[in-house]
Amino acid sequence: MSTILYLAHTEADGTLAKISREALTAAHQLAAGMGAELAVGLVGEDVGAAAESVAGCKARFLGVSGDAFSQGRYASDLAAAEALFKAVNPDMVVAPASFRFSRAIPGLAVRVQGRVDTHLTGLEAKDGKPVAKRWFYRQRMVGEFSRDERPWIVTVDAGCFEAFEESGSADVELVQVSLPEMRTTVTGIQAPDADEQTIRPDAKTLLVAGAGWTKKQADGQSHVDVAEEVLMQFLGATKASLGSSKSLVDISGEGQAVISFLTHLHQVGQTGSTPRHAKGLATCCHGEEPHVVGWRFINERRAINTDASCGWAQGKADVLYVADAFELMKKVNELL
C-alpha cells in the first residue's frame, strides 16, 4: 500500500492556516481515492493544537517541534521536512504552497531524490493513480499530468480545495531533528504597511505606467521625479493598483533614471501578468501588442498618449486621450 505524507507548518499562534487545511483536504481525498495510507507531519513551536484541529482526518500524526521551528527558515524547515519524510518513507508528499513551504519543500525533493511540482490547482486519484493539475506559461494553459517517479512531492495553491475542518484528539509522535549549524537567525518579520503595496488585485482600477514617463519631454529634459510624484499621488488618492510596461521596468538595467517603486512584478503583458481589474488606464505607454495581451481581462480600457496614432488608437482602447500625461494626471490629481 502506498503512503501519502501531508506536511504543514503552524502559524505564530499555533494554528494551521487556511491554505494548509486546504492542502490537507487534497491529501486526504487523494489518499482515499488511491486507497493509500495518510500520515500528517507538522512543524512548529508546538504542534499539539494544530494536530487536534484536523484530527478528524484519522491519519498517523507526527510532529517536529521546538523554538527553532517557530519561524520559517529554509535550513530548519528543510531539516524538519526531511526528518518527517524519513520517519514515514512516503511515495507522495503533499504540502501547502505557503510562503514558508514554497521555499523549503523543493529542497526536500533534492534531498530525497524525488520530483517536485509546485502551485498545483488540482490533485485527485484517477484509476487509483495520482493526477495533478496546474497552470503553465503564466496561466495561459492548464495541464493535467501524472508522474511515474517516486517520491513525488507537490505543493498545492490556495483556494482550490475546501479547508479541512474536522477536529478531534490526536496522538502526535514527536520526531527528533539534529539541526546543522544555522547561519540565519530569525529575529522577526518586517512587512511594509498594506498601503505601501502598489500591486492591489482587489482594486477597481489598474493604472499602467509606460516608458514615456522617463523619456525626454517637450523641454528636452526627463522629469522622473515629477512622474513619481504624480503617479504616487494618484495611487494614494484612488487606491488603484499599479502596473507597468516591460520597457519601463527594464530601464533599471540600462542605467537610466528609473521610477523607484516599480519592479518586474508590476509588468503587465505577454511576459508579465494578466491583471483582472474592471478598469484600466494606461499612461505614457505605447500600447504594443505584447503589452496589450496582458489587458485581455480588463473590460474598460483608457489610455493617455501624446501620439494620436499609438497602439491604443488601433482599436485597443475604448477611449484614448491624446494629451500630455504629466499635465493630464496633475489635473486629475487636483480634482481627486
Ligand X SMILES: Cc1cc2nc3c(=O)[nH]c(=O)nc-3n(C[C@H](O)[C@H](O)[C@H](O)COP(=O)(O)OP(=O)(O)OC[C@H]3O[C@@H](n4cnc5c(N)ncnc54)[C@H](O)[C@@H]3O)c2cc1C
Quote the least distance from Cβ 288 to ligand X, whole Å: 4
The percent helix, strand, coil of the chain (3-state, each to 5) is 35, 25, 40
Residue that has been written with the C-alpha cell 514558508 in this structure:
100
Rounded Cα gap, residues 306 and 311, in angstroms: 12
Number of Cβ atoms within 10 Å of the Cβ of 218: 8
Q: Tell me if 243 contacts ligand X by CB under 6 A.
A: no
Stretch binding ligand X (CB under 6 A), from 77-85, 172-180, 185-193, 283-291: 283-291
Query: Looking at 267, 295, 301, 317, which residue binds ligand X (CB under 6 A)?
Result: 267
Query: Looking at 285, 298, 317, 320, which residue binds ligand X (CB under 6 A)?
Result: 285
Query: Looking at 4, 79, 258, 284, which residue binds ligand X (CB under 6 A)?
Result: 284
Q: Tell me if 290 contacts ligand X by CB under 6 A.
A: yes
Q: Tell me if 304 contacts ligand X by CB under 6 A.
A: yes
Stretch binding ligand X (CB under 6 A), from 21-29, 88-96, 251-259, 279-287: 279-287
Query: Looking at 9, 28, 134, 246, which residue binds ligand X (CB under 6 A)?
Result: 246
- Residues 6 or more apart in contact with residue 296 via CB below 8 angstroms: 274
- Residue closer to ligand X by CB (options 236, 290) is 290
Q: Tell me if 281 contacts ligand X by CB under 6 A.
A: no
Query: Looking at 15, 270, 274, 333, which residue binds ligand X (CB under 6 A)?
Result: 270
- Residue closer to ligand X by CB (options 144, 289) is 289
Rounded Cα gap, residues 80 and 43, in angstroms: 7
Q: Tell me if 291 contacts ligand X by CB under 6 A.
A: yes
Q: Tell me if 38 contacts ligand X by CB under 6 A.
A: no
Query: Looking at 212, 230, 251, 281, which residue binds ligand X (CB under 6 A)?
Result: 212
Total residues interacting with ligand X, rule: CB under 6 A: 30
Query: Coil, strand or helix: which one is 151?
Result: coil
- Residues 6 or more apart in contact with residue 335 via CB below 8 angstroms: none
- What torsion, rounded to 10 degrees, do the Cα atoms 118, 120, 124, 130 define? -20
Closest by CA position to 246, among listed 221, 232, 276, 267: 267
What is 190-240 written as a DSSP string?
----GGG----TT-SEEEEE-GGGGS--TTS---HHHHHHHHHHHHHHH--
Helical H segments across the chain, by residue range: 18-34, 48-53, 74-88, 99-111, 224-238, 246-250, 289-292, 325-335
Quote the least distance from Cβ 272 to ligand X, whole Å: 4
Q: Tell me if 53 contacts ligand X by CB under 6 A.
A: no
Q: Tell me if 329 contacts ligand X by CB under 6 A.
A: no
Give the residues lining the site for ligand X (CB under 6 A).
210-212, 215, 217, 245-248, 267-272, 284-286, 288, 290-291, 294, 304-307, 310, 324-326
